[in-house]
Amino acid sequence: MSFFITLIAALFFSVVAQEFIPALPWLYGARIYLLPIVFFYSALAMPPAAMFVLAFISGFMWDAMTVQWVDGTVEVSLGWSIILYAILGAIMSGFRPLFQRGRWEIHCLASGFFTAVILLSEFLMITFRRGDFIVSKMIGWRIGGAGLAAALLAPVIYFILSGIGSLLGYPVRFSQEDEKRP
């Protein structure tokens, strides 16, 4: 339970921290997002029920920080990201047994890929609302670059959160004895 609360705090502070990370001008303005990396770690470390709670919190915070209210309308409804996080988190949960056997690269690769999926979904939603389907190198890099940055940063987040988990008595890895048990 204490690790679950720690993960909620980590999600909140990742939202705050990512506000201060500037865009990467050499990567066509791609951004570094911490919230998805922390969430996808949670999806692998926590059982599905807890993952859905964290998906709600993550999606809500993401939308609360980004949803635009313009001329009396909301461009993308508050709540879309929750669905997105829940679906992607459910897919991640499928890799949980591998993750528990210590396969840290699952978190790394999936964080990168799913971060790009989140941005692509956002792009498609605003394109649907605004019209003008734009395909450009810049948009590709903004989506793919953010995914790449997330994949590169994921191992750092993984080792920090795994360390905290161990300290709090919630080791995400199964020991060899655990694996032998029926």
Closest CA to 116 of 95, 99, 139, 83: 139
Q: CB-hemisphere CA count at 13 Å for 91?
A: 12
Residue selected from 4, 6, 8, 17 as contacting another protein according to rule CB under 8 A: 17
Give the shortest CB-112-to-another protein separation in angstroms: 15
**Which residues are paired to 24 by β-bridges?**
30
1 lies in the binding site for another protein (CB under 8 A): no
Closest CA to 41 of 103, 108, 113, 102: 108
* Strands (E) located in the chain: 69-70, 73-74
Measured over the CA atoms of residue 142, residue 143, residue 145 and residue 151, the dihedral's sign is positive
Nearer to another protein, 64 or 167 (CB): 64
Give the shortest CB-95-to-another protein separation in angstroms: 16
113 lies in the binding site for another protein (CB under 8 A): no
Nearer to another protein, 104 or 115 (CB): 115
Distance (Å, whole) CA 110 – CA 106: 6
Q: Which stretch binds another protein (CB under 8 A): 53-61, 149-157, 158-166, 174-182?
A: 53-61
The binding site for another protein (CB under 8 A) comprises 13, 15-23, 25, 28-31, 33, 47-50, 52-53, 55-56, 60-61, 64-70, 72-75, 77-79, 82-83, 86, 119, 122-123, 126, 130, 132, 134, 136, 138-139, 142-143, 146
